[in-house]
Amino acid sequence: MSSRLQPACLPMLIGSIPLDDHPAASRLIMDYTPAIPLWVQLPVFAQEGMIPQFMPGMPGVVEQGGKTFIDTTAQNFDAELLAFFEDYMALSEAPEQLAGSRFALAESTGKGVATLLDTLGHLKDTPTAVKGQVTGPITFCMGAKDQDDRAIFYNETLRDAAVKHLGLNARWQIRTLSGPGCPVIIFIDEPALAGFGSSEMISVSKDEILACLKEVVDAIHTEGGLAGIHVCANTDWSLVLESGADIVNFDAYAYFDRFILYGAQIKSFIEDGGIIAWGIVPTLKPEEIERETVDNLHAVWKDQFAQVEALGVSPETLFQQSLITPSCGLGSLTPELATRVLTLTRGLSETIRQSK
């Protein structure tokens, strides 16, 4: 695990912003989290939703009746599947050719990336890191469906294709965003992991999930990137802490009491150089966003910090290997509430860093 990034409680965002203008969203990012800029997803555009954004390039994709799905019964499906894996093998060995390939975000789905590249081109100072994101393999494979409306996770061949698709997309992002010469972070966004162990995922094993996560994490590491995993609700945190990821992002506002139950794994993760991204600024309920203040959140965070320190973690190490984030993306909020979340995130980070 890499420890070459020590963010010392800098603020960072998850990905989505409730605007309809990419340059305006990028300006917002640079106003509030300039040390770790990221490309934004604008969910107001259907093609930037978590599943649609990464569906192009997969074999057998069909749009029909307002739905996008993978048709495994199509006459040319086997040929498409073979072509996909041939492309995967070739580009795994020649990643310099990923640009413009099926594994790169297209112009229609990757406007956030293009806008970030423009922003980075005008920076005077090198940022601490640059961040991108992919939809996690579990979330993608549970959300993408076949012609029978069945999640492609349950088709081992399609699951394998999806994991490889996301892994190569992550490698393309790292190469694309590496211009400033600072570390590139790729977050693997996994909201579906909140369902692990529920009836919805009763037949899914821990080993299957770990295999998917580790393959994408390994792809990110292959390009020298840092892998983060974001889960916006509760999950079996051993899955995330044992995935090989460099950064674990959790909802510290609502689920810290569940997270801290994995004390031994948390301690080991941090001692191995892992970074804790505290999603302590609420994003779910408008009344919480409006009620909370920097001082309130700082008090809560200090108490949580002390509980992690009590596991036997050096406070200096924990401070250096921490990030401050909202609990989730902001795409479902009003622009006014999103701006308040940004203000709280920046303000909390500044308060923590100044009061150290």
pTM: 0.96
2 within a domain of the structure (yes/no): no
25 within a domain of the structure (yes/no): yes
258 within a domain of the structure (yes/no): yes
Q: What is the pLDDT along the chain (356 residues), one digit of tens a residue?
A: 545 799 999 999 999 999 999 999 999 999 999 999 999 999 999 999 999 999 999 999 999 988 999 999 999 999 999 999 999 999 999 999 999 999 999 989 999 999 999 999 999 999 999 999 999 999 999 999 999 999 999 999 999 999 999 999 999 999 999 999 999 999 999 999 988 866 677 788 999 999 999 999 999 999 999 999 999 899 999 999 999 999 999 999 999 999 999 999 999 999 999 999 999 999 999 999 999 999 999 999 999 999 999 999 999 999 999 999 999 999 999 999 999 999 999 999 999 999 97
83 within a domain of the structure (yes/no): yes
Q: Torsion angle, CA of 202/262/221/118, rounded to 10 degrees?
A: 90
4 within a domain of the structure (yes/no): no
- The pLDDT of residue 107 is 87
55 within a domain of the structure (yes/no): yes
- The pLDDT of residue 199 is 60
47 within a domain of the structure (yes/no): yes
115 within a domain of the structure (yes/no): yes
Residue 296 to residue 48: CA distance in whole angstroms = 34
- The pLDDT of residue 197 is 66
- The pLDDT of residue 3 is 53
- Closest C-alpha to 186, from 34, 341, 36, 18: 36
- The pLDDT of residue 88 is 98
Tally of domains in the chain:
1
The parent domain of residue 104 ranges over 10-354
* CATH code assigned at 256: 3.20.20.210
Residue 214 to residue 171: CA distance in whole angstroms = 14
